[in-house]
Amino acid sequence: IAGEATSALFDFLSKELVRKEEKDKLQVMAAKAEKERTKREVEEGGKRQAEELLRSREDEAFRQITRMNHAAATTYVASIMDKAIEKIVADIAMKLARGELGESVKGNEDVEGGGKALVGDFLQPSAEAIADKNKEGETDARILEAAHATMDQVMKDVTVNS
């Protein structure tokens, strides 16, 4: 009887030892996983911070380039307008010198007309693009309206036939 009790005790203790060893292994694995997760979070945080810094630098570069392009475009348009005005004034001066213009009022009309023509030529492509977009929008609206009408008719037919 004492041998059976001792045997059962040793059996119980060996099973408990195996459970404890498994538990310790699981705790070690959990600790390693937690360390790895923390390490990855720190790395990802650093990457995110670097990406945000890079993005802010790129945004600032874009803003500066946009400002520079705007300034260059403004200067370019001003230069074109100055040249056009100089040409118009030179033409008027030549006409006055030849005696082709009787009044200085006509010269003002030519300058205004030339300026209007210059601005009109400059804005024409934009106006055409806007008109094209409006036509596309109207076409899309008509197609959408036809699709809605067709769907309404199909739904009416389905409800009537059911």
pLDDT tens digit sequence for 50-83: 999 999 999 999 999 999 999 998 898 888 888 8
- Element spanning 1, H or E: none
69-75-76-77 Cα dihedral, nearest 10 degrees: 110
Give the DSSP letter of residue 99. T
In the predicted model, is pLDDT for residue 115 greater than 90?
A: no
Give the pLDDT confidence score for residue 97 in this predicted structure.
79
pLDDT tens digit sequence for 22-53: 999 999 999 999 999 999 999 999 999 999 99
pLDDT, mean of residues 106-115: 52
Give the pLDDT confidence score for residue 106 in this predicted structure.
47
Average pLDDT, the chain: 83
Give the pLDDT confidence score for residue 105 in this predicted structure.
45
Give the DSSP letter of residue 112. H
Which residues lie below 8 Å from residue 157, measured CB to CB, with a gap of 6+? none
Give the pLDDT confidence score for residue 50 in this predicted structure.
93
Closest CA to 114 of 77, 94, 85: 85
Question: Exposed, middle or buried: residue 90 (CB in 10 Å: 0-12, 13-18, 19+)?
Answer: exposed
Give the pLDDT confidence score for residue 15 in this predicted structure.
95
Instruction: Give the whole-angstrom CA distance, residue 116 versus residue 123.
Output: 10
Between 25 and 101, residue with greater pLDDT: 25
Give the pLDDT confidence score for residue 128 in this predicted structure.
74
Contact 107, 96 (CB under 8 A): yes
Give the pLDDT confidence score for residue 20 in this predicted structure.
97
pLDDT, mean of residues 4-19: 92
Confidence bin at 114 (pLDDT 50/70/90): low
